[in-house]
Amino acid sequence: MRSKVDDQLSESKVNKRRSIFIDAYALVPPISGVGYYLKSIIDNLVKSNKYDIELGTLSSFYSNERKINYENKDVKQKIVKFLPRSIYILLMRLNIAPPIDIFFGRHDLYFFENYVCYPVKSGKTITVIHDLTFKKFPHAVFFINRMNLNFIVPYTLNKSDVIVTVSNSIKKEIYRYYSPKKKIHVIYPSIDKSLEEDDSLLKTYSLKKDEYIYFVGNLEPRKNLINLIKAFNEAKLKNMKLVISGNKGWKNNKIMELLKSENVLHIGSPTESQKNSLIKNCLFLSIVSIYEGFGMPIIEGFKYNKAVLMSDIESFREISKMNFFCDPHNVNDIRKKMESLYYDTRLRQKLERLGTERYKYFSSIDQSHELEDIFK
C-alpha cells in the first residue's frame, strides 16, 4: 500500500524541472528558416514552464562579434569565444573532441538544431536533420560544408539518442540513404499566427496591392531563383513586378546579375511584420525550389489566403495536397504556370481556398506535445 510520502516523492519527480542545453548556432544572424524553426521550439519550451533553458554556441572564424538573437530574461545564454565551431567539428572527426558539457555545463537534455550531435558526457541528446541537400544536390553546397556533412550526418545518426526531422519526405530520404536502426521523429515547424504588419517596405519601393509576385528565401542555388527570374522575364504580364526578399546566401553570382533585370526587385531581409505585409499585398507567391526540407513560405502564403506557384517536389506535395505544380527545371513551364495564375482568377481563387484549408491543418498542430514525447 502506497504511503503519503511515496505519493509526494512520485509527484516531485514528475514536477521536477529539467535542464536543457540548446545549440543556438542557427540563431546567430543572419537567420534563415532553420533559425526560425529553432525559435519556435524555444518559445514552446519557455511556454511549458518545465525546463531551465540555456542557449549556447561556439565561436566562428567569420565573425568576431557573435550574438544569439533570442530575447528572454529567463533563458540563459553563453558563447564560447575561444573555440571556433569548425575546429570543434575537426576534433570530432579526429575523435578527440572533449564533451560539449565541459564548456556549457551538465544538463539533463541536449538539443542540437543543426545536424551536429556534439559528444556529451551524460544526458539525453536530440538532434534535428533538416534535409539532405549535400547528398541530393551537392553542387548547391560549398565543398567544405559538404565534406563536413558527409561525416556529421552518419555520426549523428549513430550517436544521437533521438533524431528529429521536419517532414515525412525527409524522413524517407534519411532511411533511403542511411538505413538507421532508430526511429526518426517528424516535428513540423510551428506556425507563427501573428498578423502584425508593417507597410514601410511597400511605401519605400512604391509597391501596390496585387501588382507583384513575391518570393522569400535565401539567395542560393537550391531556391532556383535563376529559373524563376528567367521565367518572369519571359512571361507576358502587365504592370507586374517580381519582388525577392531574403538573405544573400551563397553561390549566387548569377542570381545577383539577374536581380538587375527590369521589374525585378531585391529588397533585402524584411522583418517578420514587413514580410507579413509583403505577403498580404502580393498577387501570389512563387516558390519554385529544386529541393526543400519543408517550405515555410508556402504556409505563410496560405495564412494570408494567397495562391502559391510551387515546384513539383516531394516536400511541397506533402505540404499542399494540391495538384498545381511547375517543373522547377523547365523555365517554360514555370512561365506558363505563372501566366495561368496571373490571368485565371478562378484558378487563383481555387488555390487560395485549398491553401486556407491546409493552413488550418498546420496551425492546429501542437508542437509542444510532440516535444514532450521526445524529451521523456
Residues carrying CATH 3.40.50.2000, the chain: 10-187, 200-363
Q: What confidence score (pLDDT) does residue 306 get?
A: 97
Q: What confidence score (pLDDT) does residue 10 get?
A: 43
pLDDT band at 30 (very low <50, low <70, confident <90, very high): confident
| Beta-ladder partners of 340 | none
- Count Cβ atoms below 10 Å from residue 203 Cβ, excluding itself: 10
Q: What confidence score (pLDDT) does residue 290 get?
A: 97
Q: What is the domain class of 10-187 according to CATH?
A: alpha beta
The helix/strand/coil state of 85 is helix
The helix/strand/coil state of 112 is strand
67-97 burial code (b ≥16 CB/10 A, e <16) = ebebeeeebebebbeeeebbebbeebeeeeb
What CATH superfamily is the domain 200-363? Glycogen Phosphorylase B; (3.40.50.2000)
What distance in Å separates the CA atoms of residue 258 and residue 280, rounded to the nearest whole number?
Answer: 25
Q: Can you tell me the mean pLDDT for 346-360? A: 95
Q: What is the pLDDT of residues 82-125, one digit of tens each?
A: 899 999 999 999 999 999 999 999 999 999 999 999 999 999 99
204-226 burial code (b ≥16 CB/10 A, e <16) = eeebeeebbbbbbbbbbbbbbbe
Task: Give me 134's grid cell.
Answer: 549535400
Q: What confidence score (pLDDT) does residue 139 get?
A: 93
Q: What is the pLDDT of residues 298-335, one digit of tens each?
A: 999 999 999 999 999 999 999 998 889 999 999 999 99
Q: Can you tell me the mean pLDDT for 157-182? A: 96
**Residue with more model confidence, 300 or 194:** 300
Instruction: Please name the amino acid found at residue 10.
Output: S
pLDDT > 60? residue 11: no
pLDDT > 50? residue 4: no
Task: Give me 126's grid cell.
Answer: 536530440
The helix/strand/coil state of 12 is helix
**Helix and strand numbers, DSSP H then E, in the chain:** 16, 13
82: left (phi over 0), alpha (psi -120 to 50) or beta: alpha
Q: Range with the lowest mean pLDDT among 4-13, 68-77, 359-368?
A: 4-13
CA-atom Rg of the chain in angstroms: 22
Look over the chain and give the mean of its residue pLDDT values, rounded to a whole number.
Answer: 92
pLDDT > 70? residue 5: no
User: Residue ranges of the alpha helices (H) in 160-196?
Assistant: 168-178
Q: Can you tell me the mean pLDDT for 333-356? A: 97
Return the closest-CA partner of residue 255 out of 234, 226, 232, 291: 226
Q: What is the pLDDT of residues 239-275, one digit of tens each?
A: 999 999 998 888 999 999 999 999 999 999 999 999 9
**Residue 61 vs residues 33, 88, 101, 117, 252: alpha-carbon distances, Å:** 22, 12, 22, 21, 22
Nearest-5° angle of CA 366, CA 372, CA 376?
160
Q: What's this model's pTM, rounded to 2 decimal places?
A: 0.90
Q: What confidence score (pLDDT) does residue 351 get?
A: 96
**Residue with more model confidence, 192 or 244:** 244
User: For residue 218, how many C-alpha atoms fall within 13 Å in the half-sphere facing its CB?
Assistant: 18
Q: Give every CB contact of residue 257 below 8 A, 6+ residues apart in sequence.
A: none
The helix/strand/coil state of 306 is coil
Q: Range with the lowest mean pLDDT among 185-194, 277-286, 333-342?
A: 185-194
The DSSP 8-state label assigned to residue 31 in this structure reads P
